Amino acid sequence: MTDALDTLRQEVRLWLEGNAPQDWRDHCTTEEAFVDLQRSWFATLAKGGYAVPHWPAGWPGGGRGLAEQKVIYEEFARADTPRLLLSFMSTYHAASTLFEWGSEAQRQYYIPRILDGEIWCQGFSEPNAGSDLASLKTRAERQGDVYIVNGQKLWSTMGQFADKCLLLVRTSSEGAKQAGLTYLLLDLKAKGVTVRPIHQIHGDEEFAEVFLDNVEIPVTDRLGKEGQGWAVAQSTLSSERGLTLLELSARMRGALWRIGDLIRANGRDNDSGILRDFGRLATKVDAACAVADQFLANRIAGEERVGDASIVKLSYSRTLRGFTSLGLRIGGMDTQYHDPITFGGGMETGNWMADFMNSYAWTIAGGSDEVQRNIIAERLLGMPREPKSWTLKEAVA
Amino acid sequence: MSMTRAELQDAADKAFGQSDLAPDAEKAWGLIAEMGFLMMAVPEAQGGLGLGLEAAGVVHDALGRVLVPGPAIAQMLVIEALNAADTLADRDSLIERAVGGEVMTASLALRNSATLLTCVPNADRASHVLLVEEARIALLPMDGLTITPRDTWDKTRRLFDVSVDGSTPQIILAEGNASTALAQRLSMQRSFALAADSLGGANATLRLTIDYLETRHQFDRPLALFQALKHRVADLKTAIVAAEALLWERASDRAMDAITMGALKAHACNVYRMVTEEAVQLHGGIGLTMEHHCHLFLKRAMLNAALGGDADHWEEETGRQALGQAIA
Ligand SMILES: Cc1cc2nc3c(=O)[nH]c(=O)nc-3n(C[C@H](O)[C@H](O)[C@H](O)COP(=O)(O)OP(=O)(O)OC[C@H]3O[C@@H](n4cnc5c(N)ncnc54)[C@H](O)[C@@H]3O)c2cc1C
């Protein structure tokens, strides 16, 4: 077993020597360069068979065991390759949801296109439906073989570069909020779709808003049944909360050298306080990796429980905040000067202020830390749930 | 391994899961020996189960959950040291006596002098004590050694100082390089056992706290309905689950060393402390009394944090090691 893994490690390392982009951090400071690099690097990975190790067996590049995936991610982190930001939603969110809910025809149609480089984004959130996602208002009305969709989506990561969108819409306002939702696959090139990029806190444009004006979506592009959208969306969210974090936590571990570098560069090698904080962080990062590994192993064994993914996400997001904060602290005044940010550098570019601000993406996106805490307390630990309705009268009384 | 972790866990739960917190010391010790818990790490060739660290983790976790008193961690260190002493003539009989429940103890402190061993559990009942020095590891018969009981806040462990004098006869278990290697192994074992005990305790404390929050009503509702409290509980749960994942990962990793295990110990003890400190707070006034069980866990958590090297020590060592590795 270990021998096979060592062989794989050598294989990946050798392959990366010949194929990993070099010096990309230096020129990846414009959006064009970012998109070019992301596309070409994804194509190279797909050809090399390393783009989607987490996919099930039977698909090119898929069927890698947990231990193999770890080796691959560790080597990527070690070679400091760009993180696949642009195709992240396609290979994780879209693919996982399609594998779980797609019909055979839908899978055969969409999955190969993802490997060909088609970009997906996720259109769940709306201006008035963030944490309370189930209250979303974007409406889809069925007319014969199509749904007519009207509304607005917000915070769609990579939406401005995407070809397709995982779209959660309301098809009914009867009964429970969740029961009226339906899951559609939207072609962003369709008539009536407008996408507008939004500047993120550090100046990068990583997400977009999407306006839908009488957009037609064929009924054949529905995942699951009408009204089943909430259940389908849980697959997407669980992928975001669990699976992706295997890669991200491995990358965070791989990036510990950045803090090590900083400690040396600032002559803090013998500062006990700094060493302790670094040591404590290194162990926390290991724990975040271990819990992501355990999550995936449980999922493969069919033992995932509601709330497990929330633990993985909460532990990652808090650790990442700690990681970037420590970098900021040791980096001192230097981190206050504005350096150009590296697009697609991940959360650990060594541009500490940008990395720190970026860590909020994980404490807010995909269900905020507070929402994860609610899920853990109520679903995993069985504590009583919040009363459903709220009125001003009750609050005052 | 022949028994899965789940099977072992079942057995440990059956033995201790139903009992009261901090059960009777004599009975518990008998049960530990009877269940074969002490022979788990002993190689099959010497009549043991050959199960290794993972199994030890299950046992110490179970003991930590119900605050089982006694010298189980110290005893396992002695057994590990005896295992390694393959040239010792009466090794097998010593092992047999040790796994049968005859108390052979060891210091749980990080450092000792050649003349004074501190933090030695149950020295008053022991036939032998383990002496670990850089150049030599030996088993000393207790006869004639001076012991001083130390009254600890944590009543679930009884600790002693043991004075060793030069004339004490010694059963040498390892010397030179072999001794250095064995000392590292013993340090790893001690850290690992304390980590497992801590996470068992942390889990039990969290359960206790949730049960309390669900039963206790204030402002016409169970406390468990208050989000400010739920969120703290969720954070504790997350910290415990991540630390447990790390524990089991490190249990099965053969490349571990004393520092990496020390880091695990520091991490697990930090989590245990955090959980028990929060537990007292979340229990309100009752949490501050001897009537309620909270304080038992808090005191054991504080003792675990101090035994075997504190977090300051291990975190600094880990930082230095990580710095070396990060740059390599
Ligand atoms: C970088 C980034 C990328 C994103 N990408 C996407 C994407 O690709 N697709 C998509 O659909 N969405 C995306 N989102 C949206 C994301 O899912 C929402 O921002 C998130 O769910 C929070 O919703 P909100 O912003 O409306 O905040 P709100 O829901 O208004 O929350 C504001 C604050 O109140 C807290 N809060 C809310 N409800 C509760 C509660 N019940 N108990 C306690 N505290 C509560 C929150 O935790 C938060 O701190 C992204 C967001 C970010 C930041």
DSSP string, A76-117: HHHTTPPP--SSHIIIIIIHHHHHHH--HHHHHHHHHHHHTT
Whole-number pLDDT of residue A390: 64
pLDDT of res. B144: 85
Q: How far is CA B255 from CA A247, A308, A383, B96, B252, in A?
A: 22, 28, 40, 30, 9
Name the band, by pLDDT with cuts 50, 70 and 90, for residue B20.
confident
Q: Could you tell me if A178 and A146 are in contact, meaning their C-beta atoms sit under 8 angstroms apart?
A: no
Chain A residues whose CB is inside 8 A of the B214 CB are: 383-384
Whether A386 sits among the annotated catalytic residues: the reply is no
**What's the gap between Cα A122 and its chain centre?**
10
8 A C-beta contact, residue A265 and residue A332: no
**Gap from CA of A365 to ligand 1 centroid (Å):** 6
Q: Would you place residue A349 in the very low, low, confident or very high pLDDT band (cuts 50, 70, 90)?
A: confident
Residue B165 has pLDDT above 90, yes or no: no
Please state whether beta strands B146-150 and A181-187 pair in parallel, antiparallel, or not at all (unpaired).
unpaired
d(CA B188, CA A207): 47
A316 neighbors A249 (Cβ within 8 angstroms)? yes
pLDDT in tens, A14-51: 999 999 999 888 888 888 898 999 999 999 999 999 99
Best residue among A92, A128, A131 to mutate for probing ligand 1, ranked by most atoms within 8 Å of CB: A131
B230 and A378: CB-CB below 8 Å? yes
Give the span between the Cα atoms of A279 and B313, in whole angstroms: 10
Q: B82-137 pLDDT, tens per residue?
A: 999 988 999 999 999 999 999 999 999 999 888 999 999 999 999 999 999 988 99
- A222 three-state secondary structure: strand
Question: What confidence tier does A363 reach under pLDDT thresholds 50, 70, 90?
Answer: very high
| Distance from residue A368's CA to the centre of ligand 1 (Å) | 5
Q: Please check the confidence at residue A248 and state whether its pLDDT lies above 50.
A: yes
pLDDT score at A396: 58
Closest CA to B126 of B169, B81, B72: B72
Q: What's the pTM value of the predicted model, to 2 decimals? A: 0.90
Checking if the pLDDT of A1 tops 60, the result is no
The pLDDT tens digits of the residues spanning B290-321 come to: 889 999 999 999 999 999 999 999 999 999 99
Two structure tokens written together for A76: 């990527």
Euclidean distance between CA atoms B231 and A55, whole angstroms: 34
Helix (H, G, I), strand (E, B) or coil at A214: strand
Per-residue confidence at B40, pLDDT binned at 50, 70, 90?
Answer: confident
Q: What is the DSSP letter of A202?
A: T
Cβ A276–B312 below 8 Å, yes or no?
yes
The mean per-residue pLDDT over the stretch B202-218 comes to: 96
**Which amino acid, B200?**
G
Bigger pLDDT: A240 or A95? A95
pLDDT band with cut points at 50, 70 and 90 for residue A255: confident
Ligand 1 contact via A364 beta carbon (within 6 Å) = yes
Distance CA A253, CA B227 (A): 32
Residue B263 forms contact with A (CB below 8 Å): yes
DSSP structural state of residue A257:
H
* B57-116 residues touching A, CB cutoff 8 A: none
Owner of token pair 């009549």? B47
Provide the residue count of chain B.
328
Kindly indicate the confidence band of residue B1, based on its pLDDT and cuts at 50, 70 and 90: very low
Portion of chain A with pLDDT greater than 70, in percent: 96
Reduce the DSSP state of residue A197 to 3 states and report it. Answer: strand
Q: Do A276 and B316 touch (CB under 8 A)?
A: yes
Question: By the 8 A CB rule, do B139 and B171 touch?
Answer: yes
